[in-house]
Structure 1
Amino acid sequence: MDERELLERSGGPVTRSRLLHDLTALGLRSGDTVMFHTRLSAIGYVAGGPTTVIDALRDAVGPTGTLMVTCGWNDAPPYDLDTWPRPWQDAVRAEHPAYDPESSEADHVNGRLPEALRRRPGAVRSRHPDVSFAALGPAAVELTADHPWDDPHGPGSPLARLVARRGRVLLLGAPLDTMTLLHHAEALADAPGKRYVTYEQPVVAEGRRVWRRFRDIDSEHGAFDYARVTPDGQDPFETITRALLAAGHGRSARVGAAESHLFEAEEVVAFAVDWIERKIGRKGERKGE
């Protein structure tokens, strides 16, 4: 989409002051701890791109507020590395660079904003190579410190800490299926058939580059089999987020040209855990207990 089309979509340039006005009208406030997901093109023509969006978000939450994003690692080794021919595996294991929270690029699938935020002076990024988060603001260290190596979406994770701080989640023009916080609900849900994955990635431990094995819920293909409880062709996270909105959770408004939504993290997790356990079933109920 070219600049003219973006300008027409947003009715002119989306500036820092216009974003601040729209974000404030949506309900973002000074002192908030907010995890945000953004589709930049949905907002329209943003004068200044990611820099302007981050500046406006910082204006909205003020000096006492904190921003958080999901990063991941763009150049992580493939999950199926152990299925490769042995010589190929050996070459990767011998020379693939270790994950570095300060320099490893955020996963491009998450858009431009996570990489832009993690590069900001003062930003802090968590230590987990595959599930890293970055934060900027007074609570950044608290949110990202000691990210659990295993079950990195569960207790003690940056997502759990976001909930504990009564944080919020902003979908700024982002699709409903991008709400990473729902992985925390999956990690907590007591439902049968929960799917896990293990994989290896290189990290630095005690000053040495080592390959470490990690265990997590299957966040790529789904921690549960949602096929019978979601419409055909619809991502399960979109289904859950639509149910959240239909139940009256969250606020919705346009920011620039983008339909955007603001949620309370605690409400999201409580609703989603209940939804999963009702739709998939609770372990005890499935066992007849």
Structure 2
Amino acid sequence: MDETELLRRSGGPVSRSQLVGDLRALGLAEGDTLMFHTRLSALGYVAGGARTVIEALLEVVGEQGTLLVYCGWNDALPYDFTEWPEPWQAAVRAELPAYDPLLSESDHHNGRLPEVLRRWPGAVRSRHPDVSFAALGAAAGELTAGHPWDDPHGPGSPLARLVARGGRVLLLGAPLDTLTVLHHAEALAQAPGKRFVDYELPVVEDGRRVWRRFHDIDTDEGAFDYSGVVPAGEWPFTVIARELLAAGGGVRGLVGAAESHLFDAAALVRFGVRWIEAHLA
């Protein structure tokens, strides 16, 4: 969709001041620790694009607030690269650059905002090559430091620290299935059939490029088989979030032209854990 069409559909440019007003009306406040997911095109034609959105969020949370995004690593190898032909494996083992929090691009599937935020002056990024997060603001270091190599969605992860800080999760036009914090619920839930992956990626340790092995819940194929409890064609996170909204958790509102949602991270994770354990036990 081109810019003229976005302007036509949204009724005009979406400005920083409009975003600030809409975000405050949704319930965001100064001092918030906020993880956010954005579908930029859903907001309408934002004058200044991703930069304007981040500046508006920074204005709303203020100097004592913090922004958090999920980055991942766009050039991480697939989990099953160890099944490639031996010459292919040898080539990437020899020359694939190690994950670098400063240089390694965010996963493009996460949209433009994570990459813009991780490059923002003062932003910091966690050390995990496959599950990296970037943060900007007063608690950025606290959220990202010492990201566990194994179980990187579980205890001690940036998601766990977001919950512990009383953080919130904002969907700016992004669909409910993008609620990454529900991977933390999957990591914590005690239910049979939980699926895990083990994989290898290069990182830098003590100034040297080394290959490290990692263990995590399977976020590619799904940490659980939800097929028996989620209607065909639905995403499990969408169903969980929709049920929480129906129970009075979270709020809906317009930001720019986009239907947006704001959740308390701890309440969302508690609900997710209970839902998984009740439906999959």
**Same fold, TM-score > 0.5, yes or no:** yes
Instruction: Give identity over the alignment, percent.
Output: 73
Alignment of 1:108-123 (within 5 A): 108-123=108-123
Is 1:89 the counterpart of 2:72 in the alignment? no
Q: Give the secondary structure class of the aligned counterpart of 1:228.
A: coil
Q: Which amino acid aligns with 2:200?
A: E
Alignment of 1:38-77 (within 5 A): 38-77=38-77
Alpha-carbon distance, 1:8 to partner: 2.1
Q: Distance in 1 between matches of 2:76 and 2:9?
A: 36
Q: Give the secondary structure class of the aligned counterpart of 1:214.
A: strand
Q: Give the secondary structure class of the aligned counterpart of 1:80.
A: helix
Alpha-carbon distance, 1:253 to partner: 0.3
What does residue 217 of structure 1 align with? 217
Alpha-carbon distance, 1:221 to partner: 1.2
Alignment of 1:106-255 (within 5 A): 106-255=106-255
What does residue 10 of structure 2 align with? 10
Q: Which amino acid aligns with 2:95?
A: E
Q: Which amino acid aligns with 1:179?
A: L
Q: Distance in 1 between matches of 2:250 and 2:196?
A: 30
Q: Which amino acid aligns with 1:228?
A: G
Q: Which amino acid aligns with 1:233?
A: G
Alpha-carbon distance, 1:18 to partner: 0.5
Q: Distance in 1 between matches of 2:231 and 2:59?
A: 39
Q: Give the secondary structure class of the aligned counterpart of 2:13.
A: coil
Q: Aligned-pair RMSD on alpha carbons?
A: 0.6
Alpha-carbon distance, 1:2 to partner: 1.2
Q: TM-score, normalised by structure 2?
A: 0.99
What does residue 272 of structure 1 align with? 272
Q: Which amino acid aligns with 1:243?
A: E
Alpha-carbon distance, 1:129 to partner: 0.3
Q: Which amino acid aligns with 2:146?
A: D
What does residue 287 of structure 1 align with? none
Write the deviation string for residues 86-140 of structure 1: whole angstroms up to 9, x where unpaired: 0110010000000000110000000000000000000000000000000000100
Q: Which amino acid aligns with 1:209?
A: R
Give the gaps of 5 or more residues in structure 1: 282-289
What does residue 20 of structure 1 align with? 20
Alpha-carbon distance, 1:80 to partner: 1.2
Q: Distance in 2 between matches of 1:65 and 1:150?
A: 28
Q: Distance in 2 between matches of 1:204 and 1:9?
A: 47
Q: Distance in 2 between matches of 1:38 and 1:247?
A: 24
Q: Distance in 2 between matches of 1:183 and 1:55?
A: 28
Q: Distance in 1 between matches of 2:190 and 2:242?
A: 22
Q: Which amino acid aligns with 1:203?
A: V
Alpha-carbon distance, 1:79 to partner: 1.4
Give the gaps of 5 or more residues in structure 2: none
Alpha-carbon distance, 1:78 to partner: 1.9
Alpha-carbon distance, 1:3 to partner: 1.1
Q: Distance in 2 between matches of 1:163 and 1:20?
A: 24
More divergent stretch after superposition (243-252 vs 66-75): 243-252
Alpha-carbon distance, 1:244 to partner: 1.2
| Count of residue correspondences | 281
Q: Distance in 2 between matches of 1:129 and 1:108?
A: 15
What does residue 284 of structure 1 align with? none
Alpha-carbon distance, 1:150 to partner: 0.2
Q: Distance in 1 between matches of 2:9 and 2:230?
A: 32
